[in-house]
Amino acid sequence: MINRTAVRGGGVAAAGLLLAPALVLLAPAAAMACSCAVADTETLVGYVDTIAVGELATIEAPPTRADGAVDTADQVTYTVTLQTVLKGEPDNPLVFRSASHGASCGLEDMAVGRDYVFFVRDGESGLCDGTSRATPTLIAEVEAVTGPGQEPMARAADPATGSDTAPGSVDQAPAAELESGLPTALPWIALTAGVVTVGLGWLLWTRRSRND
């Protein structure tokens, strides 16, 4: 007679041996996964220094290593054309970085041309920071904490250099030039005043001589 208990025990043992390598391979992957603490919108708003709605303009991959190795912590550079600023005073365009892989909590499934609500802290963002596709619901949740969004700060082009300058700085250069030119002009002003004074004195003396 065949001992069924022994057969079942042997089958379980064999199955365990077959699954062991798979479990070993899966364990590191699970350990490397990004884990984010549960946070509501108000908490996320308080954590970051910049929140803005905008269109993702460019995605710049990290430089290729000489040995061809890939590190999940290598950073991708994102450039955003801003539409609305909800927190902070970011430059427009906004440039920030994120880890290149989700395993290191880097942003995932980002697409150029799409609108997102960007949550940025110290020039970086990630899976746990709140950056997501822009939706009316998400924007309303953020504005409930920050107040209504504002237009990005406009930057006027400097006609002399072609570079962008912040509002209020355009008229500073002429004022500075005027101030710097005053010391040079002062001697000429004094000389002119002296000539006028001498001329008036001579004219008065001439009139008195005629009257005498």
The yes-or-no verdict on residue 143 having pLDDT over 90 is yes
Burial readout 118-145 (b: 16 or more C-beta within 10 A, e: otherwise): bbbbeeebbbebbbeebeeebbebbeeb
How confident is the model over 3-28, as pLDDT tens digits? 444 444 444 444 444 444 444 444 34
Q: How far is CA 31 from the centre of its chain?
A: 31
The residue extents of the domains of the chain are 41-155
Sign of CA dihedral 99, 100, 105, 109: positive
Task: Tell me if the domain spanning 41-155 has CATH number 3.40.50.970.
Answer: no
Query: What pTM value is reported for the model?
Result: 0.59
Helix (H) or strand (E) holding 50: strand 50-60
The yes-or-no verdict on residue 140 having pLDDT over 70 is yes
Average pLDDT, the chain: 76
- Give percent above pLDDT 70 in the chain: 58
17 contact partners, CB below 8 Å, separation of at least 6: none
